[in-house]
Chain A
Amino acid sequence: ETGVTQSPTHLIKTRGQQVTLRCSSQSGHNTVSWYQQALGQGPQFIFQYYREEENGRGNFPPRFSGLQFPNYSSELNVNALELDDSALYLCASSLVGREAFFGQGTRLTVV
């Protein structure tokens, strides 16, 4: 039990649709980052939020966007879904420089 909760756990969407994934951080953690893990691959960094501001982004197009709320929970939004967006999406929360805790992930399937 890491204290980081992601919802939903599984999701099926149609190509072209939009999706919102949610992450509830461990209490007090002000930093949250999101990762995409394709099947058989290591996770890839999407972006990071610190105190409600994006402060780092990986090589993902603008249709991947996010939000962090005052309670430090977070959302990942993906617009215009493509088949290649099918993956496990992980969030991790931490205090800066401290150990990160990962959620169980949301498995997104785009058909």
Chain B
Amino acid sequence: KNEVEQSPQNLTAQEGEFITINCSYSVGISALHWLQQHPGGGIVSLFMLSSGKKKHGRLIATINIQEKHSSLHITASHPRDSAVYICAARQLGNQFYFGTGTSLTVIP
């Protein structure tokens, strides 16, 4: 069993749809990160969460520490949001455990 589980693995949405990606983790964490990876490999950090909720533009990330669960929401999705979204649990020692990613395709 992986330390970090994401769902769904693949997601196709129509432009404008509201999208939710879920992440559950089993390790103790200092923070939970949501990352975006485009084809070619480069990873961009979207959010770092240790509690509650954060919003950046059309992106919202929430975390429930007691339930060890986090969600990434995208409002009014756009084709440029198409990417792989990775949930990463950061342990106290700074080590990350990554989910396998959710591949999102937004169709115009």
Contact = CB atoms under 8 A, between A and B. Distances in A.
Name the prevailing secondary structure of the A interface residues: strand
The secondary-structure label for the interface of chain B is: strand
Interface string B24-53: 000000110101000011111100100000
A48 B44 contact: no
Interface residues of A, number: 30
B6 to A, nearest CB: 8
A42 B100 CA distance: 4
Interface stretch (A16-24, A68-76, A102-110): A102-110
Given A99-B48, A100-B33, A45 B95 contact: yes
Nearest to B103: A40
Contacts of A90: 41, 43
Interface string B79-107: 00000001010100111111111000000
B41 A101 contact: no
Contacts of B88: 43
Contacts of A31: 94
Q: Report the interface size class on chain B.
A: 20 to 34
Contacts of A43: 86, 88, 96, 98
A97 B92 CA distance: 7
A42 B93 contact: no
B41 A104 contact: yes
Contacts of A41: 100
Contacts of B97: 45
Interface in A39-95: 40-45, 48, 50, 55-56, 58, 88, 90, 92, 94
20 contacts: A2-B44, A33-B94, A37-B41, A40-B100, A41-B100, A42-B98, A43-B96, A44-B98, A56-B94, A90-B43, A92-B96, A94-B94, A97-B30, A97-B94, A99-B45, A100-B33, A102-B42, A102-B43, A104-B41, A107-B41
